[in-house]
A = this chain, B = another copy of it.
């Protein structure tokens, strides 16, 4: 069922007392990556809620909030096919209140730790993770799920959400699901829709670099600079590299040497579309 108001979701949640409820928070434009989260939720839970909300407070003023793809009808159809119980698609007014100015002058925010935020995507996307944590906590409080499902694709987000859950004693178990890739290796992303055919080919550079780093690590290279330098052979003038980092996968802290707890993370613009990807070096 498609619900647009917080009140309706709360009422349904009341009816489901005693059942295991799963929440899959999304911004819509659902693809096979999201569907893998939904399938996992269906396996784990009695009832599944998928939220579809393009959250204004996690976009910077120069970012793609307005042009972010919105395909609710198709999203709802996909969810129905997967047996989702509720698709919760609120308006910004429903989530934040009509007339509410969206700023930390006037709104309570959840602010993840500076050491987790001030790197990778957080470095260029000021306030992004405050917006993410705030809306995720709101969705948790509205849906009151037992389990919540997040993709490994947004690796920094997943680490930050797990940290929030721990720090604030949120009574929700976070389940992290692997990245889904096209056969080409391209990680699925709603933003892939912005790319031309040519751009999709150039976008393979992200997974190629990560795969190569992983195979170098498997061959015994643990020097982080050496691993990162292997990327340069793949990059050309069509790739605008924003970051390439190798960090501890649980804490996102820098390491002296790569090890089985390392994760390689990359952000790169192709055709001015900002793409991210990551890969665990161990396992």
- Closest chain B residue to A169, Cβ basis: B141
A114 touching B108, Cβ below 8 Å: no
A137 touching B168, Cβ below 8 Å: yes
Given A134-B168, A144-B171, A168-B137, residue A115 in contact with residue B105 (CB < 8 A): yes
Residues of chain B with a CB closer than 8 A to A18's CB:
17
Is residue A6 within 8 Å, beta carbon to beta carbon, of the partner chain? Answer: yes
CB-contacts of A210-251 with B (<8 A):
none
For residue A42, give the distance in angstroms from its CB to the closest CB of chain B: 25
A141 touching B170, Cβ below 8 Å: yes
Given A134-B168, A168-B134, residue A163 in contact with residue B115 (CB < 8 A): no
Is residue A191 within 8 Å, beta carbon to beta carbon, of the partner chain? Answer: no
A109 touching B111, Cβ below 8 Å: yes
Residues of chain B with a CB closer than 8 A to A168's CB:
108, 110, 134, 137-138, 141
Q: Which of B105, B113, B167 contacts A114 (CB 8 A)?
A: B105
Bound complex: CA A117 to CA B12 (Å):
36
For residue A139, give the distance in angstroms from its CB to the closest CB of chain B: 8
Bound complex: CA A17 to CA B133 (Å):
28
CB-contacts of A24-73 with B (<8 A):
none
Is residue A112 within 8 Å, beta carbon to beta carbon, of the partner chain? Answer: yes
For residue A53, give the distance in angstroms from its CB to the closest CB of chain B: 13
Residues of chain B with a CB closer than 8 A to A109's CB:
110-111
A107 touching B167, Cβ below 8 Å: yes
Contact mask for chain A residues 141-167; partner B; CB cutoff 8 A; 1 contact, 0 none: 110100000000000000000011011
- Closest chain B residue to A144, Cβ basis: B171
Task: Give me 12 other A-B pairs in contact (C-beta within 8 A), A104-B114, A105-B114 excluded.
Answer: A17-B17, A106-B113, A106-B114, A106-B115, A108-B110, A108-B167, A109-B111, A110-B110, A110-B111, A138-B168, A141-B170, A141-B171
List A residues at the B interface (Cβ < 8 Å).
Answer: 6, 10, 17-18, 97, 104-115, 133-134, 137-138, 141-142, 144, 163-164, 166-171
Q: Report, nearest first, the 10 A-B pairs whose CB atoms are least far apart.
A: A108-B167, A141-B169, A105-B114, A108-B164, A138-B169, A111-B111, A106-B113, A105-B115, A109-B111, A142-B169
Give 27 A-B contacts (CB < 8 Å), ordered by A residue: A6-B169, A10-B171, A17-B17, A97-B166, A104-B114, A105-B113, A105-B115, A106-B113, A106-B114, A107-B113, A108-B110, A108-B113, A108-B133, A108-B163, A108-B164, A109-B111, A110-B110, A110-B111, A111-B111, A137-B168, A138-B168, A138-B169, A141-B168, A141-B169, A141-B170, A141-B171, A144-B171
